[in-house]
Amino acid sequence: MRAVLFETFGGPLDVVDVADPSAPADGVVLRVEANGVCRSDWHAWQGHDPDIVVPHVPGHELAGVVVEVGPEVRRWKVGDRVTVPFVLGCGDCPRCRAGQQQVCDRQYQPGFTGWGSMAEYVALPRADLNLVALPDALGFADAASLGCRFATSFRAVAHQARVAPGQWLAVHGCGGVGLSAIMIATALGIRTVAVDVDDEALRMAQECGATHVVDARTTDAAHAVVELTDGGAHSSMDAVGSTVTCLASIRSLRTQGRHVQVGLMVGEHSLPPIPMSLLHGREIELTGSHGMAAHAYPRMLAMVADGRLDPGRLVTSRLTLTEGMHHLARMHEFPGAGMAVVVDTGA
């Protein structure tokens, strides 16, 4: 099969021929019909994840068709259209038994702990627990956009942020994660302030339902959010993963507000100088959001089915595998608003 491969961290990315995968006993092989290109894939390539062993195939936002089924699989068959969370739970650890597979103690992550989906085929273990059936009306490109950024944002907004309808959510960074969060919050009746430094991103945020937009190039973002929300957001999300956006998110909050860290913070951004006196004096809460378990997908898919959510609006580029490889190499530059999805793994 053809796949994007790197043999050294930060080294050349190439589209090469590698051996086809085989289905694990408890898993499946999918023919990849669509794969989102996420900034986390860039972090994988740069060596920011200690679980990755080179040579490696990245990719974790996927949708496809089952082409091979392991002997222990009971729920799935060849021909099924499916997607999968980027965290595959084991089903046995305390977290999984509590329904929290997204933080499984023995999690498997395609594109990180194993070879990923920037390829014609991908092997996935633990199929019965983790695969998600796709509605017939949902196209593969739209489904791939759900896998990491949209699903992570859904859980961040609908569960972790704990924002009630009519309250305020600030979203710092309007890439795929941030735009997803704004669309989801709007569908749930939550008012949003979108913060970014790019005109196109801010325009798309308005189209996704943002109540206000803030250009952080021209104003203090946190101060602007506090003014626009009459005292600060009830919850605020860092959808980028930088010291600047993390601190702006915390400073955007009203008393007893809640900061949700969604963007991955690594390297020089891994230890931001958190204003602990602010947390103490205002009883600010900090939490994270790390994907969403397969059993939680039905609520999100129901909102897609009834039209309240339209993830396809966020797909701004449909690429070949080679084009996807070049897009991945530029993810640190935040190339373009919205989401890029590989829809042709044979080219």
Closest CA to 35 of 262, 260, 328: 328
> Taking a C-beta distance cutoff of 8 angstroms, is the pair 167, 196 a contact?
no
Per-residue pLDDT of the chain (347 residues; tens, 9 = 90+): 999 999 999 999 999 999 999 999 999 999 999 999 988 899 899 998 888 999 999 999 999 999 999 999 999 999 999 999 999 999 999 999 999 999 999 999 999 999 999 999 999 999 999 999 999 999 999 999 887 889 999 999 999 999 999 999 999 999 889 999 999 999 999 999 999 999 999 999 999 999 999 999 999 999 999 999 999 999 999 999 999 999 999 999 999 999 999 998 877 887 898 999 888 999 999 999 999 999 999 999 999 999 999 998 888 889 999 999 999 998 877 776 778 899 988 76
Residue type (1 letter), 196: D
Cα atoms in the 13 Å half-sphere on the side-chain side of 318: 11
Closest CA to 118 of 45, 28, 47: 45
The whole-angstrom separation of Cα 223 and Cα 251 is 8
> Taking a C-beta distance cutoff of 8 angstroms, is the pair 260, 287 a contact?
yes
Distances (CA, A) of 70 to 67, 73, 130: 10, 6, 14
DSSP string of 19-43, one letter each residue: PPP---TT-EEEEEEEEEE-HHHHH
Residue 37 pairs in a beta bridge with 340
Handedness of CA 270, 316, 109, 174 (dihedral sign): positive
**Domains of the chain by range and CATH?**
2-149+292-344 (3.90.180.10), 160-288 (3.40.50.720)
> Taking a C-beta distance cutoff of 8 angstroms, is the pair 148, 160 a contact?
no
Alpha carbon 313 to chain centroid, angstroms: 16
